[in-house]
Amino acid sequence: MASNKIQFRSIHELKDPALNNKLAQKEFQEEIPVEDFLGDAEQNGSSTSRRDFLKLLGFSTAAVTLAACEAPVIKTIPYVVKPHDIIPGVPNYYASTYFDGFDFASVLVKTREGRPIKIDPNPAAGDLGKTNARAQAAVLSLYDNDKVKQPKLDGKDETFDKVDDFVIKGLTEAKAGNKRIVLLSQSFASPTFKKLFAEFKAKYPTAELVTYDAFPYSAALDAAQEVFGTRALPVYDLKGTELVVSFQADFLGDYNAASLETSYATARTPGASMLRHIQVESNMSLTGANADSRYRLKPSAVNKTLVEVYNAIVGGAAPADQSAAEIVKEIQAKGNKAVVFADGSKGAQVLAHLINQKLGSVAFTGKANFLKEFDKARYNEFLGWVTAGQVGVLITNNVDPIYSHYKGAEFEKAIKNVPYVVAVADKKNAMYKAAKAVIPVANWLESWGDMEPQTGVYTLMQPTIQKIYKSRQIEESLLVWKNGKNNAANNYYDYLKASAASILGATSFNKALYNGITTSNNATTLSYAGGNGAQAAAELSGFKASELELVLYTKTSIGDGTQANNPWLQELPDPLTRMSWDNYLTISPKDAEKFEIDNDLNARMQLDGSIVNLTVNGVKIENVPVFIQPGQAEGSVGLALGYGKKNSGATADTGVNAYPLFDGSNLVVSGVKIEKTGEDHEFAGIQLQNTLMGRYEIAKEVPLAEFINVAFDDEHKGWNKPLEYHTISGALPARKIDLWDAFDDTDGPHFNLSIDLNSCTGCGACIIACQAENNVPVVGKEEIRMSRDMYWLRIDRYYSSRQKVEVYEGLKDGLAVPELYGTAFGDGGALNHPADNPDVIFQPVMCQHCNHAPCETVCPVAATSHGKQGQNHMAYNRCIGTRYCANNCPYKVRRFNWFTYNLNDKFDFNMNNDLGRMVLNPDVVVRTRGVMEKCSMCIQETQATILAAKRENRKVTDNEFKNSCACAAACSTGAMTFGDMNDKESEVRELYSSNRRYYLLEEIGTKPNVFYHAKVRNRVEK
């Protein structure tokens, strides 16, 4: 049961039993400079009572704080003719398509007075409308001050007119000389773009469209072509599946160009048919962290296990390996309700497809995903053209092979043979420098476009803001170069509208644009047509094992690096390591000991780690920091791609570039060597800086068998027994005991937030959504390291033991929490250390909006108070920065503004320039130095929703309130549900009655308005 599991947040808690107390004591390390506030020697020397001190403090600093909260006077010019669709203070929403070359989503773009400020999922798009952290953060990339701002020719500013003259001259010469014209573009599943290029090729017959992606999904596409006969990725749906077995496939992340987290969460609904998840992997991935059972193996061993599973399922051979035998037994028991995923190489994916074919897996829908189009053979053919001097004009569409291809240096050298190199680019990167002409690329929020992301689906993209700088999308350029300058047919909106008519049929363009998504006449389906299992098995068996093997992966925050200059994403903590502003080599605790790799906490509880030089098959990456990761397989290391981008903005130049180690196909590589440099790296992490009051019943979990067969409130075996206090009147439920008279909260809405730990995957989309909605500042690596993050919402990651212990017996003996680990992981059993292969739980924590809030009772100026609707309010202009509230908060969710983070050169991020500040939400004040802030349950949105309903003389619907809270609206899995408890039909009220519902630290009597649901693990506990 839940209380019998021990949880720890880092391996440092295993080493130091007193660490939790040390962290709590160091929560407030800076003394309040009373002398500076009082400024009077006579007063300083006197005996000042607490009451007098507060009087003086309030008098001397309240005026300063009040002045600091006032915005500078900026005179504005009113509309002479107001646009009919803009009402000041009222947001507009536009359906559009988010696509940046790596990520895709059908979205709603929230704009204020013509400025996009927020990205929301498009409910009309279903699974294709779900947004990850990168999609949520994409609005900030629009306001990137490091973008190329106008066209260039030979390194100098120039007009589009002159640049077009240069390009057309080159195209004409190439056509006359029978030289190839190559458009090197990212994958772009736009039927109108392809139609336009076909017309461009009709004018310039030597033109070729070649696809290049930094993270190309080459192995997956090659496998699909072999097995299905079509070069498109298969679409899966886990809703009817009862077992998923994954070999290195991070299918809750970037696997298969589409996350499966929505259908995964649906299938994981606790019950008799709940999906069971088995993960076989080397790195501790986001998907592996959510698994019920996780086999940690080095890559060569993963390959061996997959081959044995394939031979048993398809060939009928008995597995020799125990792990493989266990997996095969479970797969055969579930039959077509099982599905197998694999990643790392083409061979692995082929075997997974053939296993699913044998099973007749219901997860395979037959639909095709068209978002990825890279063909390695075609790209190599293009490189041959360049090397042979056959290319007269090279146009690169927002790609940079010099940075992201493992043969980037050779490419850079080869394109010097091309007379005309044109870069459609957003940054002054290596391609920008290599090009003779540069055209700034238009952001997707400034562009028209369309997409066919998968079978039968058609989406439209529309601009939500006028182009901020002199930029142009590739389609506009092709029209100019095809038709000639100043041609009336060069309007891409008109071209798109005409082209879409053949796809939309009877549906009007305006209706499709309004919805953002509609049906497509593309009926391509996938069916099993081939696949050489013996060859794939031989490929995997031929993988050469070595002492250390590397797994390359994409991080939840940065992905392939497209948005590497986005400070929201750089600061977003990794779900597993809880580190921000870095990529690093992950290594197991045992290998760290073997190679003398250290991760140590200094006196300020800051993490420092060893730095190594990494060599892989002769390719050397210098100065790579190493992070010791619980759950990493011995003999393996992991490294994230997408970092270390030079000349792509100040923020992008973070971490090390791992692309030189990636051949575009194989994510697992052997022949790895590491060499310590003797230097240490300063990590910026946030996992250890917030200490909850207590360690048990924080993140509850229960095995599925107990959940089904044991009553939650059973007197002896109950897994979620309601908390009771023994009083003079007998035992009473904790929430019925009160020191204060309760007020009537049944008049009007009373908001609660439900969080289901079983559905939360830790993806972080809610964190970015909260940051965008509430103007949460970026503080930078140095301040994160100082434990001064400003997040209103965090996702705590807990590791837990897999063996039961009698916790309370240990406590009776006076043992501290880490000392109990010896009980949990004693001699015998497969594990001899809790960091070897721990379970993981992700728990979002924000202000709990306590009905008996400890923060409210200690604030000397009543800056924080409780509202009738259940929200705990903050009046920033009253706050004088005593930080008593943060000290008294048991959940540690309040954030203190040590500095003014806007218009401050010390924090040179988006809030330090006029362009970046355009993303700010005008409905939420920008806080300044000396005040406390925290989650408000998006009160600006709930009040706007209530007022809109009042104007229309109607009741607010539950769905309106559910979308009023940014974190809940952004959650792809439905883990967060926001609503009105006084609405008897609301979903949050229904969730309140669940037997999995519990409160954080209920025993201290704060009576939160946020409640949680215990995590259920679908496995038999040993």
Q: Write the DSSP string, 509-538.
A: HHHHHHHSEEE-S---B-------HHHHHH
Phi-psi region of 521 (alpha: psi -120 to 50; beta: other; left: phi over 0): alpha
Pseudo-torsion of CA 260, 266, 270, 271, nearest 10°? -110
Amino acid at 267: A
Strand stretches in 525-654, DSSP E: 549-553, 579-580, 585-587, 599-601, 607-616, 619-628, 636-640
**Helix, strand, or coil (residue 926):** coil
* Cα(572)–Cα(764) distance, integer angstroms: 8
Which pLDDT tens digit goes with each residue over 378-425? Answer: 999 999 999 999 999 999 999 999 999 999 999 999 999 899 999 999
CB atoms within 10 A of CB 316: 7
Amino acid at 792: W
Burial class (CB in 10 A: 0-12, 13-18, 19+), 242: buried
94 contact partners, CB below 8 Å, separation of at least 6: 108, 109, 111, 462, 464
| pLDDT value of position 55 | 43
| pLDDT value of position 747 | 84
* Cα(321)–Cα(326) distance, integer angstroms: 9
* Cα(148)–Cα(1016) distance, integer angstroms: 50
| Cα 199 to Cα 164, 196, 204, 448, 490, distances in angstroms | 18, 5, 9, 19, 13
State CA 226 to chain mean position distance.
32
CB 757 within 8 A of CB 842: yes
| pLDDT value of position 78 | 60
CB 855 within 8 A of CB 932: no
| pLDDT value of position 103 | 93
| pLDDT value of position 8 | 57
* Cα(397)–Cα(426) distance, integer angstroms: 10
Q: CA nearest 426: which of 213, 707, 614, 146?
A: 146
* Cα(875)–Cα(863) distance, integer angstroms: 5
Which pLDDT tens digit goes with each residue over 576-596? Answer: 999 999 999 999 999 999 999
**Alpha helix (H) residue ranges in 360-425:** 376-387, 401-404, 408-414
Regions in the chain scoring below 50 on pLDDT: 1-3, 28-46, 50-51, 53-75, 804-832
Tokens encoding 811? 């406590």
Q: CA nearest 681: which of 627, 614, 629?
A: 627
* Cα(609)–Cα(681) distance, integer angstroms: 5
CB 378 within 8 A of CB 334: no
CB 372 within 8 A of CB 399: no
The whole model's pTM is what?
0.89
